[in-house]
Amino acid sequence: MQTFGIIVLIIWLLNLLAAIITVFHEKRDISTTWAWLLVLVFIPVLGFILYLFVGRKISHDKIFTIQKEQEKVINALTKRQKEMWQKRDLDKDSTQQERELEHLFLESEGAFLTTNNQTKLFDDGKVFFKALIDDINQAKDSIHVEFYTFYADDIGHEVLHALENAAARGVEVRVLYDMWGSKGTNYKFFKKLEELGGAAQGFISSSAKQVITTPRLNYHDHRKLVIIDGKTGYIGGFNIGDQYLGRLPKYGYWSDTHMRVYGMAVIQMQARFMMDWNTTCRRTTKKRFEFEKRFFPVFEGNGHTKMQIVSSGPDSERQSIKRGYQKIISTAQNYLYIQTPYLIPDDSVLESLVIAALSGVDVRIMIPCKPDHPFVYRATEYYAKYLVDNGVKVYRYDNGFLHAKTMITDDTISSVGSANLDFRSFKLNFECNAFCYDDDLTKQLKAIYEKDLENCTLLTPEYFDKQSRWRKFKQYFSRLLSPTL
């Protein structure tokens, strides 16, 4: 019996040593480090299996590749604007709030400002997919598609059929999708498209080979972009799948937001796609995306929306989208409206929201009424309670599933894109958002938000107090692991 105890102690000490070496081998923030130490120490063996799939950071060679691709494309596009900024000759009509945000993105992310964009918002899947397919059918030169989810279901086949027709008439078609987010979709799904001259590949963080050789549940391509003829772009929260049309009873009606852009901001979307495609090509046999003027046309848009396309991901420590969110929160003066399906912010964003609310800003956050990931939803409930207790108004959307990722403030500034208000979007996934400076667009988004409020329940301290002890335990437990979710 004594021998058995010694063996157990030795195994535990070895497990502890291995946990410390494993976690501190890669640079992390303190909260994430402690969260993984808890998992590895108190869940021996199983914790290491979980770390294998979830905890490992993206390799340095991939980060280097992504950054090098970015340098090739972005540096030339932003150099001129930085010179203009220094001369105070860039966007003189902006408010101080707008100028500070514009400068933040220009310096930290190389996101140059465009001023001639025409926009159209979609908050219904049927309308969105009809517009997207119509634009694909009218494409003349190129179609570049990048989605986290591209399911081989009914709407997936509809979109694919439109892409195949485009390829058949000589349009260059490229599709980049995340294989983890597109479960059930494989290369055979795109076989006919490639026979017609198109190309499709799984994003580098989740290629078919890597699922076996380097299993990982993090670092996925969560962006949702379509670029047509280098002039028309789509960016937002919709993916390609039947649930986004409300066809799956599990979710019911699907509330989301996407934006169609016609203007020079599309050049930034094109550059983003080019970087992601070429990074993936290093591990596949697909043709690289070479810089050609036809992909980056200079044209005069007929709109008036000022916009910056901002990307973030594990290839950079800057967390540019998160910083943008923080800046908007900290400078909001009258109101701040947020929609997010996952509410798991880090401490800096959490306290920024509380400070804004306690300073008299009308801060409202809308979350879903049902989970698509139960464990994550319990963490969302924990943070919702904390915010409610500290002056933030949190609403539960009751008309189906809320998937929109929007932030609007003071009828002037708005953000539409793929990034949620959570650790995963801030640090673990590759995201892309449009930050816009336009009174009309912001008011349109505000109107959508207020329409959704009609189907919401305001969460109160009493609402959380009535929950069972077991549910509260799951919320607290989920919160402890929130940096790993």
Q: Which of 220, 405, 427, 474 is catalytic?
A: 405
Angle between helices 96-109 and 60-86 (to 10 degrees): 140
Active site (annotated) includes residue 405: yes
Active site (annotated) includes residue 220: no
Q: What is the DSSP string of 118-140?
A: EEEEE-SHHHHHHHHHHHHHT-S
Tokens of 411: 């009828």
Active site (annotated) includes residue 157: no
Greatest C-alpha distance within the chain:
82
DSSP 240: B
Q: Kind of pairing, strands 421-422 and 343-344?
A: parallel
* Burial of 329: CB neighbours in 10 Å, binned 0-12, 13-18, 19+: buried
**460, 364 in Cβ contact below 8 A?**
no
**340, 420 in Cβ contact below 8 A?**
yes
Instruction: Say how far apart CA 13 and CA 70 lie, in whole Å.
Output: 44
DSSP 153: S
Q: Which of 123, 315, 346, 410 is catalytic?
A: 410
Active site (annotated) includes residue 224: yes
Backbone phi, psi, residue 291, to 5°: -70, 115
Give 311's strand partners: 432
CA 261, chain centre distance (Å): 18
Give 121's strand partners: 259
Active site (annotated) includes residue 222: yes
How open is the CA angle 305-323-102, to the nearest 5 degrees? 35
**62, 315 in Cβ contact below 8 A?**
yes
Tokens of 401: 């599933």
**360, 470 in Cβ contact below 8 A?**
no
Tokens of 69: 């691709």
Amino acid (one-letter) located at 52: L
Active site (annotated) includes residue 452: no
Q: Which of 135, 178, 221, 229 is catalytic?
A: 229
Q: Which of 62, 144, 220, 224 is catalytic?
A: 224
Q: Which residues are catalytic?
A: 222, 224, 229, 403, 405, 410
